Amino acid sequence: MTGRLDDSNTRMPDSAEYEPDVDAKPSLLKSRALRYTALALAGLLLLSVVQAISGTTELTSSGTWAAAIRLAIPIMLAGLGGLFSERSGVVNIGLEGMMIAGTWFGAWAGWSFGPWYGVLFGVLGGAIFGLIHAIATVTFAVDHIVSGVAINILAAGSMRYLSVVTYSPESGGGATQSPRIQSPIGTFDVPLLSDAFNWIEDQAIFFISDVAGLLAGFTTRMSWLTLLALLIVPLTWWVLWRTAWGLRLRSCGENPYAAESLGVSVLKMKYYGVVISGGLAGLGGAYLVVVQAGIYREGMTAGRGYIGLASLIFGNWYPFGVAAGASVFGYADALSLRQGTAVHALLLVAAIALALLTAWSIYKKKTTGAIVQGVAAAFFLAWYMATDTVATQVIAALPYIVTLLVLSLATQRLRMPAADGLRYRKGEAV
């Protein structure tokens, strides 16, 4: 094999076993986009039906969607960070710690210099811990899980120490929180569209107003950082699936020794993947500070790094799938902040969705799956019929419950990168 994996020659050797790059086929791209669009519309229709039955107005309101977007962005950024790392072959469960670093550095810089400096320093803070993870796993071949757990512990302890030595009582900060940042990131409305969608939503037309509420959530009072974060999704897809650099990175996660034989610097590409991963997770942490809270508080990430990892798995290691998974978790989180009747109505949503999955499993002759899903559907339906409200504890735990349910139902066709988490040493034979 004399070929070289570079900009002028991205041909793979015949002997290398790589996944087919299905995303390179326009027809498959279109069919996949149509399928996802149809699923999204079907889900919105289900929410509309349940909303009409239950009498709540919170399932599809523009306020709910706007909150869901804000709450989904940090999870999505953490998931995209995990995507870069795991596509290069390095498991990164240290996303939570990298997000913690992003929150602290984002708050410190936002307080000291302004919100956009907070964004920049949040990215750098996460990237520093990504670099530590890369040194441990890539250079010293430390077990990826062990290193990730250590990153999470180290980040939490380090940020507490930095808070103690940085913030005086007079500053308004302390050991567990920072002073408030100078000002929040600005917001904008999309001209004409925002007013039009809000007007249609107010007409209370079945399904049409619900679609308008969703679109109003995207066009009304959107933060500039939210727009930037959303643009990272197609940019990630383009970088990883449309550039020679992305091909080299993905080859390291599929078959690093074949990539090495083609002249790819596997160690360098793994470093790139993990450091970018930390930077994106840090950006998610900075978003929590400069857009949502305006202040750093200890524990404010609340496991979003782990949920980001769950969205990565849910999305089958693809950027748009990660965004979809983060949207589901963000929506659940948004509902937990709304009226209790909305969460109660979500029980009926779960019952109907599981009943449809049961019918599909029966059609596919998956008896075991059909039984489990049917029992779960009956449970949620009975819960909905027997109660008028949902306990506060269940509402608070809703995002994490949804995470477990989605992962348990969405793991049938997952394919992680073939060499993800495997030890690599340059020059060693497999």
SS3 annotation, 122-159: HHHHHHHHHHHHHHHHHHCCCCHHHHHHHHHHHHHHHH
pLDDT of 4 reads: 45
> Hey, which of 144-153, 202-211, 307-316 has the most confident mean pLDDT?
144-153
CATH code of the domain covering residue 254:
1.10.3470
pLDDT of 18 reads: 41
- pLDDT for 259 beyond 80: yes
- Residue pLDDT, tens place only, 272-320: 999 999 999 999 999 999 999 999 999 999 999 999 999 999 888 999 9
| Confidence tier at 342 by pLDDT (50, 70, 90) | confident
Number of structural domains the chain divides into: 1
Q: How many residues does the chain have?
A: 430
Q: Are strands 187-188 and 222-223 parallel, antiparallel or unpaired?
A: antiparallel
Closest CA to 419 of 273, 301, 309: 273
- Give the span between the Cα atoms of 215 and 194, in whole angstroms: 8
pLDDT of 390 reads: 84
The backbone torsions φ and ψ at residue 6, rounded to the nearest 5 degrees and listed phi first, read: -135, -170
At residue 177, the 3 state secondary structure works out as strand
pLDDT of 430 reads: 53
Please say whether the dihedral angle defined by the alpha carbons of residues 359, 365, 367 and 368, taken in this order, is positive or negative: negative
| Confidence tier at 263 by pLDDT (50, 70, 90) | very high
Which of 54-58, 187-191, 231-235 shows the lowest per-residue confidence on average (mean pLDDT)?
A: 54-58
- Mean of the pLDDT values across residues 5-18? 42
Which contiguous run of DSSP H or E holds residue 188? strand 187-188
Q: What residues are paired with 223 via a beta bridge?
A: 187
- Residue-range definition of the domain harbouring residue 147: 59-337
Give the CA distances from residue 9 to residues 236, 238, 423, in Å, rounded to whole numbers and listed in that order: 22, 18, 27
Look over the chain and give the mean of its residue pLDDT values, rounded to a whole number.
88
Q: Does a structural domain hold residue 47?
A: no
Q: For the CA atoms of 314, 316, 320, 322, what is the dihedral angle to 10 degrees?
A: 40
- Residue pLDDT, tens place only, 12-40: 433 334 444 444 455 655 666 677 788 88
Which of 16-30, 84-98, 129-143 shows the lowest per-residue confidence on average (mean pLDDT)?
A: 16-30
Paired tokens of 48? 């509309």
pLDDT of 335 reads: 86
- Amino acid (1-letter code) at residue 354: L
Question: Beta-carbon neighbour count of residue 305 at 10 Å?
Answer: 34
Q: Does a structural domain hold residue 175?
A: yes
pTM of this structure: 0.90
Is there a contact between 323 and 82 (Cβ–Cβ < 8 Å)?
no
- Give the span between the Cα atoms of 425 and 391, in whole angstroms: 52
- Amino acid (1-letter code) at residue 105: F
Give the CA distances from residue 149 to residues 91, 153, 249, in Å, rounded to whole numbers and listed in that order: 11, 6, 24
Is there a contact between 195 and 309 (Cβ–Cβ < 8 Å)?
no
Q: Does a structural domain hold residue 396?
A: no
Q: Does a structural domain hold residue 361?
A: no
Q: Does a structural domain hold residue 402?
A: no
- pLDDT for 406 beyond 80: no
pLDDT of 17 reads: 40
Q: Does a structural domain hold residue 34?
A: no
pLDDT of 426 reads: 79
Q: Does a structural domain hold residue 370?
A: no
**Strand segments (E) across 60-140:** none
Angle made by CA atoms 253, 256, 262, in degrees to the nearest 5: 125
Q: Does a structural domain hold residue 343?
A: no
- Amino acid (1-letter code) at residue 104: W
pLDDT of 412 reads: 58
Closest CA to 162 of 296, 300, 301, 303: 296
**Strand segments (E) across 27-122:** none
Which of 23-27, 68-72, 336-340, 370-374 shows the lowest per-residue confidence on average (mean pLDDT)?
A: 23-27
